[in-house]
Amino acid sequence: MRRYGVSKYVTAIAFLVIGLIVGAVIAMSSPGQVVTTTVTQSKVVTVTKTITPAAPKTTTQTTQKPTGFAGTIYIGTTISLKGKFAHEGEYALNGFKVAIKWLNEVHGGIKVGDKVYKVELKYYDDESSSQRVPELYSKLITEDKVNFLLAPYSSGLTKAAAPVAEQNKIVMVSHGGASDSIFKQGYKYVVQTLSPASTYLRSVVDLIAEKDPNAKVALIYENAAFAATVAQGAKDEIQKKGLKLVYEKPYEKGATEFGSIINEAMAAGADVLLGGGHFADGTALVQQAWQLGWKLKGIGIIVAPALAEFKEQLKEAADGVMYPAQWEIGVKYSPEAAKKLGIEWFGPTNEEYIQMYKEVSGGGTPDYHAAEATAAILHLAKAIEVAGSLDSDAVRAAFNKVDIMTFFGRLKVDPATGLQIGHQMVVVQWQSGEKKIVYPPEAAQASPIYPAENWYKR
Amino acid sequence: MDVSILAINLVNGLLWGIILGFAAVGLTLLWGVMKVVNLAQGEVILMGSYVAIILFTQYGLSPLVGGLVALLVGLVAGFLIYWALLHKLVGKVEKITLKIEMSTLLAMFALSIALLNFYYYSFGSEPRGFGLWNLGLPFIRVLGTTIRTNILLADALALISVAVVYLFLDRTILGKSIRAVMQDAQAASLVGINPVKIKLLTTVLGIGLTVFSGFMVLLFEASVTPEIAHKYAPLSFVVVVLGGLGSVVGSLVAGIIIGIIYGLSKVVVSLFNPRISDPVALSTAFIVLILILLFKPEGIFGRKR
């Protein structure tokens, strides 16, 4: 009976501890949901919080042309300042600010015909929620009377905003929606500044085709919409360049064990590995390819290698691995490179961009989310200048004529769909523990190491 | 059909099946002896993985030490789980009724939620593992298949553990007492076996082995996320039902059968549509579960009731 008495206390304490853990975990893990609900309830309050930062500040700072502006062009957008895209949202916001600053202060405003306009950004926080997006975009159009729109971050949110822009016939520029499917809906007013998903591995395939026309490629990718689109794009490019695709395999979401897949690919004689999906599976795929002694000349994986954790986990196995990036610090796009291609340069140079970003963000360094955002406004500004009008139909038509180079790369859209066709993904390769941009040549800072010696000669 | 692809998948299925079988040994003991359905199976497995990971990444200890510590932590966890959750529900009762079974089931369910959220809170959803660590050579070639040595290490440990547990249950007095309680708790207590002691021992052993298997799961999978719990828990139940409640050898054999069926169906489905081969192969395990429940509910090595 004594023992029974003791166990009663033990039980009570154990339940208390478990209760505390559960409580703590619930408290830690649910703020996202809670916030969403409160926001939906206090819709009106949150929505009326229109913030127009930077813009007023810019006006007071602009001393060169105090009276030169014929008016203001309002660009509306939502930014994810809370929720799962809060990190990306912050970069995007700073990216927008840099573009506005450059246009108003350095470029001296957007020239529309013989008039010069100041640019101002109007935005709301969409809290990373696709449910919030349509309502906020309607508000931007009907109440704030913005002239043009920028899409929110991510393909999911862009899909939510696109119908609103389309219904109201207002041009919307996508800076964070890479999905090709956005541009297969027949939208007439949506254009893309970043490279679409289907082109993610194209540059890697091009690089390999230049170095090794006999490469035997294994395409191993996550069985999910984004990775499958990337893989299809890679497959098309592999065929176009005449490389051999000896093995193709989609794997399940969340897969961590690749023993049979890698063995099958080795049995098929593949010496180049392309694919990936998210961070976890991409890292595991490369890790096991290494541990299984797969002799690879080239490895091109989406998403995972871009993160510093990839290098931390894989150490020497990270070297030689390539990944595609929309933009990376150190890209060498320049007015000279534009001249060589016979196209116009627009916007700040890369050095100026990084400097301006530092000023705007209070000492920060831009990443590709910021660069995409800046490039989207530059892209739009150029189209407005080419159109010589603030009419959305005229500007959309002008987008088809715009073929420029910026610090972000070349920008040109497909006239029919608005899909980005000028911009090229840069290829970054881990070389001796450091990221080096290796392709395309006009952006490269180092030459690619192919075959990857640590992988091939072991 | 390409013979090498068949061989690759069969070998991999076999290697995985051994891990799967061992992971279910603890579950089959708890279920068989105490009628405790451990709904926290997946999370308890992960306990072993995370113990080894912490020791490796935070303290730089060899994963082999980590595995041993995982086993010890598992034994202690079994002790705590018995006194905190199970003793009051099953300790003093002679016949475990449906009501008691439901209570233990709910208690283990609560434990699974608490543990899972604890893992998400402490380790996040990112994969964690031993990185590029391996014992000696990273890989060897067997039967036209390249195998990571970590997987062979995991399988060897699993086979040895199953053998030890089998001998313990078969040859020692304590082990025989456990089997006696499994067969008839009332009769066992009549011949002087202390049921509380046996139930405590079973929980310590069952949870300990399950936690230990987490180390092997980690070696096999190379990295784990809390999500892995949802992959291994349902499969463990299939293995227990197929192998027969309370049968350690049955568990191992059933694990191997499931692994091989998985490998085989992957190859067959791949011939038609590679995009769906993984999910279809995994679902065959549950088709096996339905068939077993319909035609041989006591399992391969189970006793007819």
Tens digits of per-residue pLDDT, A394-439?
Answer: 999 999 999 999 999 999 999 999 999 999 999 999 999 999 999 9
pLDDT at A98 over 50: yes
**Interchain CB distance below 8 Å, B222 and A15:** no
pLDDT band at B282 (very low <50, low <70, confident <90, very high): confident
Phi/psi for B135 (5° steps) reads: -85, 110
- Angstrom CA distances, B205 to B25, B28, B102, B174, B237, stand at 10, 11, 22, 12, 18
Averaged over B140-145, what is the pLDDT?
85
**Interchain CB distance below 8 Å, B222 and A288:** yes
Least confident among A46-55, A176-185, B204-213? A46-55
Alpha-carbon gap, residue B245 to B243, rounded angstroms:
7
Tell which residue, A211, A249, A216, A134, has the closest CA to residue A451: A211
Tell me whether A29 touches chain B (CB under 8 Å).
Answer: yes
Least confident among A41-45, A325-329, B69-73? A41-45
Measured N-to-C along each axis, helices B149-171 and B248-272 cross at an angle, to the nearest 10 degrees, of 150
List CB contacts (< 8 A) between B113 and chain A: 22
Residue of A nearest to B274 (CA): A249
The 10s digit of each residue's pLDDT in A123-136 is 999 999 999 999 99
Query: Is residue B300 one of the residues assigned to a domain?
Result: no
CB atoms within 10 A of CB A388: 15
Averaged over B93-98, what is the pLDDT?
85
Tell which residue, B292, B299, B189, has the closest CA to residue B252: B299
Alpha-carbon gap, residue A109 to B127, rounded angstroms:
48
CATH code for the domain of B242? 1.10.3470
**Interchain CB distance below 8 Å, B127 and A248:** no
Pick the CATH number of A199-325+427-456 from 3.30.70.1280, 3.30.428.10, 3.40.50.2300, 3.30.470.20: 3.40.50.2300
Alpha-carbon gap, residue B117 to B100, rounded angstroms:
26
Q: What is the pLDDT of residue A7?
A: 57
Which tokens in the block code for residue A76? 């509306």
**Interchain CB distance below 8 Å, A7 and B87:** yes
**Based on the structure, what is the number of domains in chain B?**
1
Which tokens in the block code for residue A343? 């196209």
**Interchain CB distance below 8 Å, B83 and A10:** yes
Burial class (CB in 10 A: 0-12, 13-18, 19+), A86: middle
Q: Which parts of A194-256 fold into alpha helices (H)?
A: 202-211, 225-240
- Under 8 Å CB pairs connecting chains A and B tally to 130
Which helix (H) or strand (E) segment holds residue A438: the answer is strand A434-439
pLDDT at A63 over 50: no
pLDDT at A91 over 80: yes
Q: Residue A384: which residues within 8 A CB-CB, separation 6 or more?
A: A73, A110, A112, A148, A390, A395, A398
Q: How high is the ipTM of this complex?
A: 0.87
Q: What is the pLDDT of residue A68?
A: 73
Q: Which of A285, A291, A309, A311 to mutate to test the interface with B (most CBs of B within 10 A)?
A: A291
CB atoms within 10 A of CB A142: 10
User: Using CA of residue A51, residue A52, residue A54, residue A59, what is the dihedral sign?
Assistant: negative
pLDDT at A67 over 70: no
| 3-state class (DSSP) for residue A156 | helix
Q: What does pLDDT average to over chain A?
A: 87
Q: What is the pLDDT of residue A35?
A: 30
Q: What does pLDDT average to over chain B?
A: 92
Residue of A nearest to B10 (CA): A260
Least confident among A6-15, A292-301, A346-355? A6-15
* CB within 8 Å of chain A, chain B residues 45-104: 80, 83-85, 87-88, 91-92
- Classify A429 in phi/psi space as left (phi over 0), alpha (psi -120 to 50) or beta: beta
Of A14, A24, A283, the CB nearest to B85: A14
Q: Which parts of chain B fold into alpha helices (H)?
A: 3-23, 25-34, 41-57, 63-81, 98-123, 149-171, 173-183, 185-190, 195-221, 228-243, 248-272, 277-295
**Interchain CB distance below 8 Å, A259 and B120:** no
Q: What is the pLDDT of residue A20?
A: 64
Q: What is the pLDDT of residue A208?
A: 97
pLDDT at A57 over 70: no
Q: What is the pLDDT of residue A9?
A: 61
Topology agreement, domain A46-195+332-411 and domain A199-325+427-456: yes
**Interchain CB distance below 8 Å, B222 and A284:** yes
Q: What is the largest CA-CA distance in chain A?
A: 97
Residue of A nearest to B270 (CA): A249
- Angstrom CA distances, B230 to A271, B116, B237, stand at 34, 10, 12
pLDDT at A59 over 60: no
Averaged over B69-89, what is the pLDDT?
96
Alpha-carbon gap, residue A408 to A328, rounded angstroms:
9
The 10s digit of each residue's pLDDT in B43-78 is 999 999 999 999 999 999 999 999 999 999 999 999
State in words which class domain A46-195+332-411 has: alpha beta
**Interchain CB distance below 8 Å, B225 and A4:** no
pLDDT at B126 over 60: yes
Q: Which of A2, A20, A25 to mutate to test the interface with B (most CBs of B within 10 A)?
A: A25
Tell me whether A223 touches chain B (CB under 8 Å).
Answer: yes
Q: Residue A285: which residues within 8 A CB-CB, separation 6 or more?
A: A220, A258, A262, A273, A275, A276, A301
Q: What is the pLDDT of residue A357?
A: 97
pLDDT band at A217 (very low <50, low <70, confident <90, very high): very high
**Interchain CB distance below 8 Å, A29 and B117:** yes
Q: What is the pLDDT of residue A248?
A: 95
List CB contacts (< 8 A) between A24 and chain B: 121
Of A10, A257, A267, the CB nearest to B220: A257
**Interchain CB distance below 8 Å, A250 and B275:** yes
| 3-state class (DSSP) for residue A287 | helix
Which helix (H) or strand (E) segment holds residue A260: the answer is helix A259-267
Residue % of chain B over a pLDDT of 90 = 75
Tell which residue, A32, A201, A51, A312, has the closest CA to residue B131: A312
The residue range of the domain holding B108 is: 3-295
Residue % of chain A over a pLDDT of 70 = 85
Tell me whether B265 touches chain A (CB under 8 Å).
Answer: no
Alpha-carbon gap, residue B71 to B63, rounded angstroms:
12
Q: What is the pLDDT of residue A41?
A: 33
Residue of A nearest to B130 (CA): A313
The 10s digit of each residue's pLDDT in A248-290 is 999 988 788 999 999 999 999 999 999 999 888 999 999 999 9
Tell which residue, A345, A370, A406, A421, has the closest CA to residue A192: A421
Which residue is it, tokens 């082999």?
A: B64
Q: What is the pLDDT of residue A8?
A: 59
Q: What is the pLDDT of residue A60?
A: 31
Q: Between residues B147 and B126, which one has the greater pLDDT? A: B147
**Interchain CB distance below 8 Å, A259 and B227:** no
Tell which residue, A265, A267, A270, A217, has the closest CA to residue A245: A217
Alpha-carbon gap, residue A342 to A66, rounded angstroms:
35
Q: How far is B44 from chain A (nearest CA, A)?
A: 15
Q: What is the pLDDT of residue A152?
A: 96
Of B84, B146, B263, the CB nearest to A10: B84
Residue of A nearest to B83 (CA): A7
Alpha-carbon gap, residue A333 to A340, rounded angstroms:
11
The 10s digit of each residue's pLDDT in A223-245 is 988 899 999 999 999 999 999 99
Tell which residue, B164, B294, B305, B180, has the closest CA to residue B242: B294
Q: Residue B287: which residues within 8 A CB-CB, separation 6 or more?
A: none
Tell me whether B128 touches chain A (CB under 8 Å).
Answer: no
List CB contacts (< 8 A) between B110 and chain A: 18, 22
**Interchain CB distance below 8 Å, A250 and B12:** no
Size of chain A in residues: 458
- Residue A116's identity, in one-letter code, is V
Alpha-carbon gap, residue A303 to A318, rounded angstroms:
13
User: Got the DSSP string for A93-147?
Assistant: HHHHHHHHHIIIIIS-SEEETTEEEEEEEEEEE-TT-TTHHHHHHHHHHHTS--S
Tell which residue, A25, A137, A117, A22, has the closest CA to residue A72: A117
CB atoms within 10 A of CB B164: 12
- Angstrom CA distances, A124 to A50, A87, A144, A368, B190, stand at 6, 16, 11, 22, 75
Q: What is the pLDDT of residue A232?
A: 96
* Percentages (nearest 5) of helix, strand, coil residues in chain A: 45, 20, 35
Q: How far is A344 from chain B (nearest CA, A)?
A: 44
* Torsion angle (degrees, nearest 10) of CA A144, A146, A149, A153: -30
The 10s digit of each residue's pLDDT in A207-216 is 999 999 999 9
The residues spanned by each domain of chain A are 46-195+332-411, 199-325+427-456
CB atoms within 10 A of CB A183: 22
Q: Can you list the positions of beta strands (E) in A135-271?
A: 148-150, 172-174, 190-192, 216-222, 244-251
Query: Is residue B128 one of the residues assigned to a domain?
Result: yes
pLDDT band at A10 (very low <50, low <70, confident <90, very high): low
Q: Residue A260: which residues within 8 A CB-CB, separation 6 or more?
A: B8, B9, B12, B263, B266
* CB within 8 Å of chain B, chain A residues 137-176: none
